[in-house]
Each structure stands twice: as structure tokens, then as C-alpha cells.
Structure 1
Amino acid sequence: MYLTVQSFISDYKNEAAVTQKLLDSLTDSSLKQGVAPGHRSLGDLAWHLVPASGMLEPMGLKVQGPPNSEHPAKAAEIAEQYRVSVQSLLEGVSEWDDEKMQETKEVFGFQWKNGMTLSLFVKHEIHHRGQLTVLMRQAGLPVTGAYGPSKEEWSDMGAPTS
């Protein structure tokens, strides 16, 4: 749980930069990549990563997020909407003081402190970002590292990759 506004902002800027790199490497044709029938495509998953009001609205955050619709056909549109939504979220939270992190709101039927909701929001993104990388590999796209180099990045550094 985040206790200070700055701790969230610092952490989320780092996590969002990792997500942004992945979204920036999607191609229009890769958006159709699926894992199995009846599950999200790579495009659906990428669009799901774009911050929207869902779990943020109960805290009073109005994020300039995407409409609740199917993902755009252009990968660049998804990446750009992510960029805009992240900036909107960071601007909204930066107007808070640290006491706001301790306020309790009902989110999805649970009573959570705002700092907890933001923590779960970041974990939600990390979880789905992991799924995104699997679909990116299946689509033949390069994957960038998150908490260390990816296989491709290791290889570029001359390190063994097996």
C-alpha cells in the first residue's frame, strides 16, 4: 500500500515506462494474436492496460481514459492513449496530499484505502503486462525487459541466453 503521493508517483512512472515500451513495439497485425479461443487477443489485452476510470473513479480520480469499446485497429493509437491516460492519472494524483492516501472508499464492493487501491491498480497492470509479453512472443515481436534484460537484450549484450 502506498503511504505517500510521491511513492505512488515514483513507482508508477517506472512501471508505466516499462508498459509504454512494450505497447510502442506492437504492430497492427500483432493485435489479432490470441492465446486461445474465447480469451483476450493481444489487442484486447493492450487496450485493457490503458488506465480508465474503473477502479480509480471511486477515489475521485477522473482519468482521461479510453471509451469502453473494442480496441483500435492501430497499435499506435493504443500506445498513444496509454501515454495520455497515464499522464492524466499522474496529474490527478499529484493534486492529492498524503492524507488522501489514507481515505477509505468502496471499490468493487470492498472498503479500501486509496493507497491500497493504487497499489492494486499497479499490480493489476504488472499482471496483465506479463500476459502481454507472452502474446508478443507468440506474435514474433521482440520483448523488452522489465526488472532486468529480456532474452533479446541479454543476447545484444553478448551474454548466453540458454
Structure 2
Amino acid sequence: MEIIPMLLKEMDAEAVTTRKMLSIVPTDKFDWKPHPKSMSIRELAGHIAELPGWVTMALTTNGLDFAANPYQLPEVHNTEDILAEFEKSFASGRAHLEKATEADLLPDWTLRNGDTIYDVSSKAEVIRTAFCQMVHHRAQLGVFLRLLNIPIPGSYGPSADEMHLYDFESAFSQ
């Protein structure tokens, strides 16, 4: 079984849910955070938007050294900027993955900060981690939005805000 078609299918599916979530981020709440140690909504949504670009980074580099390349969030000023950043990073990541070969997924990729190594994984594992990070941070964003009383869309089924749209009793009684 080939890995790239499975990764592309997962990437496409997660993009649908991510677009729904990012599209409801309110610009007037960009600087809000639920706790002093939390990212702001702007930072969190910006990070989610850039994560598909980690597929490109995994396939075109041998690693990331924060000491040589300090992390910078994408600059976003409104919801449209977030969506544009997501579409840009998604298109890049997907295009690089489509062009990749199975052999391109095998080499190691290293995440470090100077001499401190955080992780060494195959490029395939780094791609899967990027997808997991997108889901993880998207869930965080869902909590942030819920705390602001903003109805959230479902990810893998209806959210609590959408339950009234479905008749589960009749669906399971047949």
C-alpha cells in the first residue's frame, strides 16, 4: 500500500474541517486569550493556517533549527488573512506531497534548537505530526471559541451546536 495517496486523502479531509473552523474566527477577538500562558486567537489561528506548509518543509529540508531560524508566526490581521495563509500553505504542502515519491518520505528530519535535539523522525512521520498538530490546535481553537460563546462547526460529525440538525433516533432505529 502506498503512503502518499493516504496522506493526500487525510490532508484534503482535514483541510475541509480546518477551513470551517478558521472561517468563523472573529477578527474583533484576535487578541483574546483564555489564560496568560495561552496563545491569543490570532496566534493560534495563524499557527493552524501555516501548518500544512510543514509538509513542504519536511519534503524540502532535512530539518529545522530554531537557533538559526527563530520561529515567526504569519502576520494576519483579519479572518480573510488567516484563510489566505491557510490556502497558501495548503496548496504548497499538497503540491509538494503530490510530486513526492515514497522514497522521499524515508529520510530522517531533525527538529532542534542549536545543540538541543527535540525530535528525529522520518519525513513521513513529520508530515503525520503536522496533520496531528493541525487537529490538536484546531481543537484548542474550538475551546477558545466555545468560551466566547461562538457556535462551532463539527469536525468528524455534528458539534453540540449542530445536534438539532440531525435526527439520530430515526437513523439508529432502522
TM-score (norm 1): 0.83
Structure 1 unaligned regions, length at least 5: 62-66
What value does the CA root-mean-square deviation take over the aligned residues?
A: 2.5
> Which residue of 52, 72, 91 corresponds with 1:87?
91
Q: Share of identical aligned residues, percent?
A: 18
- Residue number among 104, 107, 114 corresponding to 2:123 in the alignment: 114
Shift of 1:56: 5.0
Residue 96 (str. 1) matches residue 105 (str. 2): no
Q: Quickly say closer, same or farther: Cα 1:58–1:96, change in 2 above 3 A.
A: closer
Alpha-carbon distance in structure 2 between the residues aligned to 1:73 and 1:97: 37
8 A contact 1:58–1:107 mirrored in 2 = no
Unaligned runs of 5+ in 2: 62-70, 170-174
CA distance in 1, matches of 2:150, 2:16: 18
2-structure distance, mates of 1:150, 1:115: 31
Query: In proportion to residue count, which structure has more strand?
Result: 2
Deviation at residue 33 of structure 1 after TM alignment: 2.5
Matched residues in 2 for 1:111 and 1:29: separation? 39
The whole-number CA distance in structure 1 between the counterparts of 2:147 and 2:130 is 26
CA distance in 2, matches of 1:72, 1:134: 21
Find the counterpart in structure 2 of residue 49 from structure 1: 48
Aligned length: 154
Distance 1:45 1:134, change over 3 A: same
- The amino acid of 2:149's aligned partner reads G
| Structure of higher CA gyration radius | 2
Q: TM-score, normalised by structure 2?
A: 0.77
